[in-house]
Amino acid sequence: MTAVRVLMAPRLAAACLFAPLPGRLGMLSPGRQVLSSSAALHSSAPRSRAKVALVLSGCGVYDGTEIHEASAILVHLSRGGADVQIFAPNVPQMHVIDHTKGQPSEGETRNVLTESARIARGKITDLAQLHAVDHDAAIFPGGFGAAKNLSTFAVDGKDCKVNKDVERVLKEFHGAGKPIGLCCIAPALAARVLHGVEVTVGHEQEEGGKWPYTGTAEAIKALGARHCVKDVTEAHVDQKNKVVTTPAFMCETALHHIHDGIGTMVRKVLELTGK
């Protein structure tokens, strides 16, 4: 207690210089009032930090999480003052891609949780342990892992199946009225699980190759979702379902534009948490 008094003494002494008489409002100058010291202490209390779950699907754009997207999300969450816990399903990847060739590596197998740990710097938890009650929001980066490991969208399109824990998590957060953020191809997960949800994967015309994956928008419509055209630096907010999406690497553009769009998505998700 002595150490606490020593640390607090200068602050208390400074506060006393401006403290009003008990039960009255002090006056700095005519017409200007100051709050009592107790009210000032309450008004300066720190806001609680949003607890956000980040769900990965491996490590590498062609068979897992798009690393630039995951990194951008983490940077923007850090800037937004969020507490982040990273998750991934403990399942085998659909296949392994040699990223120098863009082709499958024959005879090689990898685990989604183990690969995702590379991005998480080892601090990762099995997705089976993620529950909406413990978090304020969930965010899913893109990369083909979302369409190969978290679902079968890459193979089956509108008839795809979603990993049981991914489906459970999406339904839990949605049912609890907690926001969900998704980028790149990951909005297909919400389109499959949350009937009638509004999402974006960007534009619906290729525009000379700037938007090479426009077929995804049509597949999302076939899943019963509403597709909303947005630019790469924008995010679409489905206010009713609290789902926030942004195109990210669905667009062929400079990296900083993608980074900015992800920032917009993260900011909107944090705003929806109310923290």
CA distance 182 to 218: 18
**Catalytic-residue membership of 184:** yes
261 CB-contact burial (10 Å; exposed 0-12 / middle 13-18 / buried 19+)? buried
> Which among 105, 102, 125, 130 is positioned nearest to 113, based on CA atoms?
125
> Which among 200, 199, 202, 220 is positioned nearest to 210, based on CA atoms?
202
Integer angstrom CA distances of residue 20 from 16, 27, 39, 261: 8, 8, 11, 48
* Paired strand residues for 137: 52
Name the active-site residue from 59, 160, 184, 251: 184
Residues with catalytic roles: 184
